[in-house]
Amino acid sequence: MPAALNEVKRRISSTQKTSQITTAMQMVSTSKLSQIQRHTSGYQVYASKVESVVTHLAASHLLDSGNVDMSSTSKNDDVPVSGLMTQRPVKKTGLLVVTSDRGLVGSYNSNIIKSTNDFINEHGKTPDDYVIMAVGGMGADFFKKRGMNVAYEYRGVSDVPTFVEVREIVKTVTAMYNNEVFDELYVCYSHFVNRLTSRFRSTRMLPITGDTIEDTKPDGDEVVQPKTAPISITPEYELEPSAEEILQVVLPQYAESLVYGAILDGKTSEHASSATAMQTASDNAHDLIDSLSLQYNRARQSAITTEITEITGGQAALE
């Protein structure tokens, strides 16, 4: 068999093996996507309840600093209430950037990193004006290689993240906020829309005030107002126990739900991007195999035709 045919046959075999790998990876990513979507649907019920409570507190002005004893501390020592509500002049902005720990996820990481850089540039931030907390190795490596201020990194997030993982992140981030490492915090991540579409989001998380509650709601959560505006009624509450004790419980849970929701959303987008990328790779491999097979068959047919012609010519010469 000619050397050219051997080379084509080798490429076909190699591409078939690659196709088997990408198909298996697609199946794994699809399975992880289904698993995290089932987990997220259950979590969203809890998150919506916490958000509803905090929204009502904001509407009754309980989140206004003048109505709360800012010297109180949470029963959960990891997340002090004063740290979550303290407002001060913004000298430095914190960016909690959620990426993946690995590649082979299509444009997932590059889109988040590019959009985060655009966010920094649009807000006129210099390297002295921001600090980065990276959740995921790809983002951490990118920012560190470019000399950007990475104050914290967390690697090894589970395929379906647990609440315990996020509490550790929230504990570290709020401690940095209390220590005035930064004066406000944005969570930057990829929002899952569907299997083919994701959208970058930058959500302001700290400080938690009545004015910033609406900023944390997803884009699709806006309520359409009726043509006739309803009478505005400010809710009033009789609290038992005190407002401080209620906020000690609710606000840490709210902060944790924001970060946990962002990481879950980002992981869902990551699995969807990985499944799509592997499907595209498998489709491209199949197309290449078809093209190489056609090339191989044509070359083989040409070689056979040449051999028949030579045999026929030799036989004619002998006669």
For the domain that residue 304 is a member of, what is the CATH number?
Answer: 1.10.287
Shared-domain flag, residues 77 and 111: yes
Q: Residue 135: beta bridge partners?
A: 98, 154
Q: Which residue range is the domain that position 142 belongs to? A: 68-216+238-276
Number of domains in the chain: 2
Q: Is the pLDDT of residue 138 over 70?
A: yes
- State pLDDT tens for residues 152-196: 999 988 888 888 888 888 888 888 888 888 888 899 999 988 888
Lowest mean pLDDT among 235-239, 298-302, 310-314: 235-239
Shared-domain flag, residues 13 and 82: no
- How does residue 287 score in pLDDT terms, banded at 50, 70 and 90? very high
Shared-domain flag, residues 73 and 135: yes
- State pLDDT tens for residues 104-128: 888 899 999 999 999 988 887 787 8
- Identify the CATH number of the domain in which residue 254 sits: 3.40.1380.10
Residue 302 lies in a domain: yes
What is the C-alpha separation between 98 and 266, in angstroms, rounded? Answer: 7
Instruction: Give φ, ψ of 234 to 5 degrees.
Output: -90, 120
Residue 63 lies in a domain: no
Q: Across residues 26-50, what is the average pLDDT?
A: 85
Shared-domain flag, residues 171 and 260: yes
Q: Is the pLDDT of residue 24 over 90?
A: yes
- State pLDDT tens for residues 197-256: 889 988 888 887 765 666 565 554 443 333 344 444 455 656 666 666 777 777 777 888
Shared-domain flag, residues 83 and 7: no
Nearest to 162 by CA among 36, 33, 32, 50: 36
Helix (H, G, I), strand (E, B) or coil at 236: coil
**Residue located via tokens 């981030």:** 173
Shared-domain flag, residues 96 and 15: no
Shared-domain flag, residues 79 and 208: yes
Taking CA atoms, 74 is separated from 70, 71, 162, 250, in Å, by: 11, 10, 22, 10
Residue 114 lies in a domain: yes
Q: Is the pLDDT of residue 75 over 60?
A: no
Residue 53 lies in a domain: no
Shared-domain flag, residues 12 and 79: no
Instruction: Give φ, ψ of 187 to 5 degrees.
Output: -100, 120
Taking CA atoms, 175 is separated from 170, 172, 178, 183, 242, in Å, by: 8, 5, 5, 12, 25
* Cβ-proximal residues to 131 (8 Å cutoff; 6+ apart), any chain: 92, 93, 94, 95, 149, 150, 151, 176, 181, 182
Which sign does the torsion angle of CA 112, 115, 117, 123 carry? negative
pLDDT more than 90, % of the chain = 20
